[in-house]
Amino acid sequence: MRQFVLIGHDVPTDPDFSLDDLAGGAGRLDALCRSITAAFVTSHGIREDVRVHLIAQDEYTITFDGSELRRLNPDERSTAALVRTALEHREDAIGALPAEPSPGVELYRRGFEATLEAIADDGPIVQLHEDGDAIADVRPEALADAVFVLSDHRDFTDEEAGLLEEYADRRLRLGPQLLHADQAITIAHHYLDTAGYERF
Amino acid sequence: MRQFVLIGHDVPTDPDFSLDDLAGGAGRLDALCRSITAAFVTSHGIREDVRVHLIAQDEYTITFDGSELRRLNPDERSTAALVRTALEHREDAIGALPAEPSPGVELYRRGFEATLEAIADDGPIVQLHEDGDAIADVRPEALADAVFVLSDHRDFTDEEAGLLEEYADRRLRLGPQLLHADQAITIAHHYLDTAGYERF
């Protein structure tokens, strides 16, 4: 299984935002929605063996499970509606028990560190970062069950960077261009999809 | 220069559509907007050496030039607004002269074949298609000035396929997964960005 942890520094923690202003009033939720769909959608379906954990301001974690998701469309707006529905159920998340707002979506009352702790044993934790080593030097097989951690339009905070010093097994860079998180996810998938391919 | 030709089979040819329903009433313009931004945006800027040609129902071609574009944001909605503004100026496109609705955007009164003809000498024309040869077998240097042709959520029509038989120099596939056009563009960029890299 491949997993992606998306840190949303400005993403709303209550559902009182408009789907018509995702890039503005909703804390760049547009970008995070593109990252969620990049992790799951292919031309004709959904990658079932993927999980995405969206950290909302270190307060909630919304987990999407590809094996149970229904009706994830590739557009920003419908994905943002899934996030909004999850936040509408935030009072149902009590202690370690998540709210289950829709199929394949769970909302936990926990932030970045608790989420890292919960998935730390699932596979190598990989921080995607411009100062990392080249992913091309890593055998794709070593990343088959990787947990990729990405920040949104802001850089990792000092606290997040400190946690990643502790938890991350690798810090990797995908290529020479600095890309948006959704583009990075598309390329990480492609790198793993093409394991074993030679190239010029 | 890298160029991308996006065939929009259902994209509106008049500006009377709502930015709140891009995935529905606007003929999946959401997907085409993601393709436009995938072609241009990086984390901190715009790829200046890129052009995108959006074919609207074989009637108009909207050309975006990275060296002159201003304010291309990565979200679907603001890109769709650029397309809508271009269509509002469609009466200004007369004969071979384009309308120039905003910096870096031109609207031509021409369809797929006339656009192919206009750019056929710019570089190799490459049809991205699931039945193509593996791009990994092609030296990236041979694609440095490629014109990549992609269809939207529909397959190429028989007429488009016939034109591509005539014009395209190669038919290539990017990897084992069938992806959306915007994801394919991200990977094509990455393949060319990492020319010369070895990988496991």
pLDDT at residue B200, rounded to an integer: 63
Alpha-carbon dihedral angle through residues B176, B180, B183, B188, given to the nearest 10 degrees: 60
- Its ipTM equals 0.94
Question: Do A99 and A107 form a contact (C-beta atoms < 8 A)?
Answer: yes
Distance from CA of A174 to the nearest CA of B (A): 9
* B139: nearest CB among A189, A190, A200: A200
For an interface test with B, the pick among A19, A131, A183 (most B C-beta atoms closer than 10 Å) comes out as: A183
Residue where the block lists tokens 């593996």: B134
Exposed e or buried b for every residue in B17-50, given b needs 16+ CB within 10 A?
Answer: bebeebbeebbbbbbbbbbbbbbbbeeeebbeeb
Yes or no, beta carbons of A43 and B200 under 8 Å apart: no
| The pLDDT of residue A194 is above 70 | yes
pLDDT at residue B37, rounded to an integer: 98
Exposed e or buried b for every residue in A20-45, given b needs 16+ CB within 10 A?
Answer: eebbeebbbbbbbbbbbbbbbbeeee
Token readout for B160 is 């488009």
Helix intervals (H) in A41-129 = 76-88, 112-119
pLDDT at residue B31, rounded to an integer: 95
pLDDT at residue A112, rounded to an integer: 98
At B66 the three-state DSSP class reads coil
Query: Which residues on chain A are in Cβ contact (under 8 Å) with B19?
Result: 20
CA distance A4 to B20: 29
Contacts with B46 (C-beta within 8 Å, 6 or more apart), sequence order:
B40, B66, B69, B72
Distance from CA of B30 to the nearest CA of A (A): 6
Give the tens place of pLDDT for each residue, A103-115. Answer: 999 999 999 999 9
Question: What stretches in chain B show pLDDT beneath 50?
Answer: none
Neighbours of A186 (CB within 10 A): 27
pTM over 0.90: yes
